[in-house]
Amino acid sequence: MITRVAGIRVGHWTDPVGLTGCTVVLPPPGTIASGAVRGGAPGTRETDLLRPGMLVEEAHAVLLTGGSAFGLAAAEGVMSFLEERGIGHDTTVARVPIVPAAVLFDLGVGDPSTRPGSGAGRAACDAATDGDVAEGNVGAGTGATVAKVFGLEHGLKGGIGSAAAEDGELVVGALAAVNALGEIVDADGNPIAGSRAPGRDQDPPPPGQPGNTTLVVVATNATLTKERAHLLAQAAHEGISTAVRPAHTIWDGDTVFTLATGRVGADQRIVEALAVRATSEAIRRAVFAADGVPGFPSAREVRS
C-alpha cells in the first residue's frame, strides 16, 4: 500500500448514502511534488504549480475527491487543517498550505446534491493514518464506476485501491480512485471488470454523458528533483494505460500526482518501473475491493 512509504498518511471521508467521498494523502515535511494530467475532462486545483520551473516544489497534502468540480471545496477543509498546525509555504506573513487536488464525476451514481465540502476535507485529514489503507467503496472511490465505454447503464462499480512495489530500500506506492470510462484489464489484457453490454464485438457508441476519470497518487521514498518527479508522473500514466482500456480519452480527466520524500537514492528508471507496477495493481485492487451499488454490480458479482 502507499503507506509502505514512510511518513505517508491516508485518510478517507465517506458518504455511503449519497455515494460520494474524498481521500487525502498527507506527506512528511519537505516532500517534493509534481503531477501530470491527461485526457480531455480534468477537474483540478494547483496542478499548474506542480509543473517544473514553478516557484514552489513542496506539497503539503493531495486531495482526491468525488462531487465533480463541486468537490474541490473539500480542499478548503484540508487547508484549514494544515494551517492550524503551522504547515504551509512560508510567505513571511502567513503559511499557505499547498494542496493539489483532482475530482472525479460521481453525481450520476448516488444523490447528485451531495458533494464533499470543507468539512469532508477536514474529516479526511482527521482520519489520516499510516496504517493499512481502506479500499473499495470508501473516500473518493465511494461513487466511482468503470467499464462505461458501451454505455453507463452497462458499467460496473469502481472504487479506490492501493499497492506498493519495492526494490531493496526503494519503495514506490500508489493510491488510485478508479472511475474510468474504460474497462479494467489484467496484465495480459483480459477484462477483469468489463462492460455488461451485449454485442461487445461492435464499435462502442460515444458516451452519452460525463462520468469518468482515474485519479492516482504515487509516493516514493526516492530522492527526486521536481523535474524527475514530473517524469515519474508521466511514467505512472503508463500504469493507467496498462490497466484501463481505453484510458486518457476525451471523456476522462486522468490525473497523477507524485510525492517524493527524499530518503533513498535511486535510479530513475527503477523508480518509474515500480510506479507503473504499483499504479496498475492499485487500479485492479480498486475494482476487486469494490461492492456493488444499485445499478452498478461489482466485478466480483459479475464474475461469480
Taking residues 127-152, report their average pLDDT.
Answer: 95
Any idea what the CATH number is for the domain that residue 149 is in?
Answer: 3.60.70.12
54 within domain boundaries = yes
Please tell me the predicted confidence (pLDDT) of residue 304.
61
How many CA atoms does the CB half-sphere of 189 hold within 13 Å?
A: 1
Query: Is the confidence at residue 17, as pLDDT, over 60?
Result: yes
Mean pLDDT value across the chain: 93
187 within domain boundaries = yes
pTM over 0.85, yes/no: yes
246 within domain boundaries = yes
Give the percent of the chain with pLDDT over 90.
86
Sign of CA dihedral 178, 182, 183, 189: negative
10 within domain boundaries = yes
52 within domain boundaries = yes
pLDDT band at residue 149, thresholds of 50, 70 and 90? confident
302 within domain boundaries = no
132-141, 170-179, 195-204, range with the lowest pLDDT: 195-204
303 within domain boundaries = no
Query: Is the confidence at residue 150, as pLDDT, over 90?
Result: no
The answer to whether 110 touches 67, Cβ cutoff 8 Å, is no
Which pLDDT tens digit goes with each residue over 197-220?
776 566 655 555 557 899 999 999
Taking residues 36-52, report their average pLDDT.
Answer: 93
pLDDT band at residue 49, thresholds of 50, 70 and 90? very high
Q: Rounded to 10 degrees, what is the CA torsion of 73, 143, 105, 147?
A: 160
Maximum CA extent, the chain = 62
Q: Which domain holds residue 92?
A: 3-296
How many domains are contained in the chain?
1
